[in-house]
C-alpha cells in the first residue's frame, strides 16, 4: 500500500487501488522490504500493521458468510478461508464407517 503504487496515467500498473497515501506507512513498508535482518523486518511490519489500523483507509461494506454442512460420516472436511471455498482439500476427503 505504498503511495508510489497508486495507479495513474503515469503509473498504470500501480497496485494501490485504495489510493492510500500515508508517509509513516510508506516508511515502514520500505524499511521492511529493504532489510534481511529478521528482527528489523518483524518490527517494521508490526509498524505497518499498526499504522494501517490507525490510518484505516478502507471500510468493510460487506462480508459474505460461508456456511457449510456435511454428513457426520464425511471425514476431513475443512472449510477454507480463501476463495476456493470448501473444495481445496477434496483429495483428502474420506468416508467414515459403513453408511452410504
- pLDDT tens profile 9-34: 998 998 888 888 999 999 999 999 99
Structural domain range at position 48: 3-55
Instruction: Report the chain's C-alpha Rg in angstroms.
Output: 21
pLDDT value, residue 83: 61
Could you tell me if 17 and 43 lie in one domain? yes
Contacts of residue 52, Cβ cutoff 8 Å, sequence gap at least 6 = 1, 25
Structural element, H or E, at residue 24: helix 23-33
Do residues 95 and 73 make contact, with C-beta atoms less than 8 angstroms apart? yes
- pLDDT tens profile 30-49: 999 999 999 999 999 999 99
Which whole number is the average pLDDT over 79-94?
Answer: 74
The cell numbers describing 7, all together, are: 495507479
The number of distinct structural domains making up the chain is 2
Which whole number is the average pLDDT over 47-65?
Answer: 81
Could you tell me if 27 and 46 lie in one domain? yes
Cα–Cα distance measured from residue 89 to residue 73, given in angstroms and rounded to the nearest whole number: 17
Amino acid at each position: 500500500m505504498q503511495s508510489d503504487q497508486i495507479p495513474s496515467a503515469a503509473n498504470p500498473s500501480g497496485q494501490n487501488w485504495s489510493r492510500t497515501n500515508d508517509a509513516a506507512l510508506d516508511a515502514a513498508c520500505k524499511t521492511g522490504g529493504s532489510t534481511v535482518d529478521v528482527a528489523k523486518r518483524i518490527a517494521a511490519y508490526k509498524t505497518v500493521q499498526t499504522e494501517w489500523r490507525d490510518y484505516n483507509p478502507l471500510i468493510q461494506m460487506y462480508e459474505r458468510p460461508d456456511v457449510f454442512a456435511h454428513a457426520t460420516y464425511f471425514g476431513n472436511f475443512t472449510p477454507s478461508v480463501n476463495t476456493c471455498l470448501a473444495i481445496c482439500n477434496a483429495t483428502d476427503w474420506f468416508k467414515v464407517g459403513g453408511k452410504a
